[in-house]
Amino acid sequence: MRKEEIQAALAEVRAVYAELAKRPVQRECIARTDCCQFKLTGRTPMLTKGEALLAARTFKATGRKELPERADGSCPLLKLETGKCMIYADRPFGCRTHFCDAAGGPYARKDVVDLIRRLEAVDLQQGGDGPRRIQAAVGDLL
């Protein structure tokens, strides 16, 4: 994959996240990180290829080279010492739109389906095969 194509993919993913932030849907994410405890929630974020590329790049920029094993079922991108997401500014779409009741519950699909389609278009361009669990999607790109 050419460098320019990857840069364009990352820019498009970031544009989707920025567009989502402008949507008139009430959200109050205060980074409680309850949703980052997959074993507790029973749900794991699924990432398209562009989202995974961006997450992996931001994770690597922290100086880390591989995802930690998490026996407690928490997200490997959660910094346990601080309880904060290591890639918060570039966190995946699912982490922005999902099921956190405290943040306002899930977005209605009709409110974000155009953005999902844009992420799927990047996925196709980047040779992805649809959304994958965050651990594998990011781990394979490190």
Q: Using CB under 6 A, which of 75, 100, 112, 122 touches ligand SF4?
A: 75
- Shortest spacing between CB 2 and ligand SF4, in angstroms: 27
Q: From residue 128, give the alpha-carbon distance in Å to each of 49, 54, 118.
A: 5, 14, 13
CA–CA separation, 47 vs 135, rounded Å?
9
Stretch that binds ligand SF4, among 16-24, 64-72, 86-94, 110-118 (CB under 6 A): 86-94
CA–CA separation, 84 vs 22, rounded Å?
24
Kindly state the number of chain residues that form the binding site for ligand SF4, as judged by CB under 6 A: 11
* 85 binding ligand SF4? (CB under 6 A): yes
Per-residue x/- track, 106-125, ligand SF4 (CB under 6 A): --------------------
Cα–chain center distance at 134: 7
